[in-house]
Each structure stands twice: as structure tokens, then as C-alpha cells.
Amino acid sequence: MKVLVTGGAGFIGSAVIRHIIRKTDDSVVNVDKLTYAGNLESLEAVSDHQRYVFERVDICDAAELKRVFQQHQPDVVMHLAAESHVDRSIDGPAAFIETNIVGTYTLLEAARRYWQELNDERKAAFRFHHISTDEVYGDLESPSDLFTEQTPYAPSSPYSASKASSDHLVRAWRRTYNLPTLITNCSNNYGPYHFPEKLIPLVILNALEGKPLPVYGKGDQVRDWLYVEDHARALYRVVSEGAVGETYNIGGHNEKRNIEVVHAICELLEELTPGNPYSRHSHETVNPSEAENTGFRRLITFVTDRPGHDLRYAIDASKIERELGWAPAESFESGLRKTVQWYLNNLEWCRRVQNGTYQRERLGTSEKGNTTS
């Protein structure tokens, strides 16, 4: 199978590509515009592989998408390209409208025209898999409620509204043109190669440098955390075995308040970096009753909550488990430990993201391997 992945240089997209190259015999065409969140260094482990090709293309560019489809002849599309940071969508929503809505429309049209020209066998096998978020559902009021595939849409931010719009477009192209589509909505991802503006990597890297650990409000927002490599497995299972026209929710069964996540990171860093000058191990022994406010935890800083901040997300992932046999392999504890350790082992990758080196070099040696555009 040849898989066209949009947004393959992003956090989740790069995990999907690494999974496909390492765990399957399929080929990958990575289509990515390389915005600030696209980092080809996340794909260095597979970038020279003969089954991997990179195309620097904006999904809003209809002519280039047409060329990509005609040249590479994909069997399936996995659409992950999106602007995804809520805070950025509040400060500048235009890019989210352009990429997430106009870009999805342009890609759907390119895929539809390509699909219509395929022979009957390939046409029947073709799939367009749209990867979305649980944020399209809004938030949950009752502590016992879960998002299901039938939960009504109630997006709260420009980001989630743009993703909800793209979901509606995909369903419309299925209903109107019979394009064989699938949709997945996932909970919060975390893991290796996560861009440092996101909560978990931000806390890890700030803590190591003794910087404030910003927490919105009181940190009471609840999220269901999904290890990115578990998500990559789920996405491949859906595009390979999912039923056309269906939606599958993907979650990690790991509901945590944001403050709990920050505390857990602090405790792992205490264990894994005892020599850090900001850890409690570097100071005089304290009374156990006072340990809560020592070491890395002293850096926690509560900041004004952002506008329209959803309080709780939680996914009911029983459908994908029941129908496709997928379940997360990582608990939150095991996944977070792997994540913290990865960042400690890859501080140079983090430094290059933070200082922008990865962007300045992308037109040089970074775009290596089987690049064809």
C-alpha cells in the first residue's frame, strides 16, 4: 500500500510515518508545508528509506496536490495537516481557517478527482482518512460523561471550530460524492518529538532550566492523555481495517487534571535528574510534609486562564476496541516516564527547535533523502 500522509513532519504525522516505515511494508509520501510545527528532524530515522518520499507542498495549493496525486498514485490518504495550537488560534485565527478548512476542502477535491479516475479495483480499495480531535465536542459537564461518536459538536475555540468544520466537509464529500472516507477523533497526545509549546514538553524543558511552570487557572482542566505511538498504531488500524463512512474515537483511558500532570513530571524529574540545581535533591533535606513545595514544584506558577477554556475532555474508545481490536499499550505512568526520558536524552533536538535552527537549515541538508519537489 502507498500511503499519502499530509502533515507528516508534525508531531502525530511523524509518529505515523515512523510506524509505517518500521512496522509495515507500505510506502509513504509525506506532504508537508513545513510551517513552524513541521520538523523534518523528527523523521531522520526513516528519511533515507527507499519507501519514503517527501514533498514540500501546501495543502491549499490545488495544482501541486494534483501533481502529487498523479505522480505518486497513492492507495490511501491520511490527512493530519492542521494548525493545532489553541492559544495561537485565539491570537490569530486566520491561519486556522485557511489550513484546516480551505486546506481540507482543497485536499478533498484533489483526492475526489484522482479517485474518480482510478480503475474499479483501486477505486474500491481507496480510502480518505481524516484525523481530527475530541475538542470538536466542546467539554463535558458530568464527571461520568464521555465523548462518543454520536456526541453533538460544540467547539469552543477557533481551533476546534475549524476542525469541526473540516469534519463536516469530509462527511459531506462522503454523502454527496460517495468518496470513501473515515474520521477519527483523538484525545490529547503526548510523547517524543512534541513541539515545546505544548504542556508536557514545556514543563519538562522549563523545569530543567529553573523557569516558571505556567498552569492555567488552578490546573483543574481534565484531559484524557494518549501516548502518540499508541495513536499511530490506532490510525494505521483504522485506515487499513476501518469501515468506510465510520467515525472512531481514540483515547488513552488516562484522565488527569493538568496540575496532576505537572506534578507527575516534577516527580519524574526529581528521580531522573537528581543533580539538577533546581531539584529538591540539590538542597538541604526538608521535612516530608513540606516536600510538596520544594524542588521543581516550587517553579509552578498559576496564570490567568485562557478565554473559553474547556474544563473536561474524556473519550469513550470502546468502538475502536470492539470493532478493530485496538487498545492503548501504554498507561499514563509508563508513557510519561518514556516521554520525560526521551526529552532528557534529546535535549539537542529541543535546543534546535527552541532557537529555530531546524527552520533555518530546512532548505539545506535537512531536506535530504528521497525528496522529489
270 part of the active site: no
Given 105, 114, 159, 343, which residue is catalytic? Answer: 159
Half-sphere exposure of 342 (CA within 13 A, CB side): 17
Q: Is residue 60 helix, strand or coil?
A: coil
Tell me the C-alpha distance between 198 and 191, whole Å: 11
| Beta-bridge partners for 224 | 255
209 part of the active site: no
**3-state helix vs strand vs coil in the chain, percent to 5:** 45, 15, 40
E strands along the chain, which residues? 2-6, 27-32, 52-56, 76-79, 127-133, 181-186, 188-190, 213-216, 222-227, 247-250, 255-257, 300-303
193 part of the active site: no
Given 32, 64, 135, 167, which residue is catalytic? Answer: 135
Tell me the C-alpha distance between 148 and 249, whole Å: 7
Given 32, 41, 134, 139, which residue is catalytic? Answer: 134
Tell me the C-alpha distance between 80 and 8, whole Å: 7
Q: Is residue 165 helix, strand or coil?
A: helix
Please identify every residue annotated as catalytic.
134-135, 159
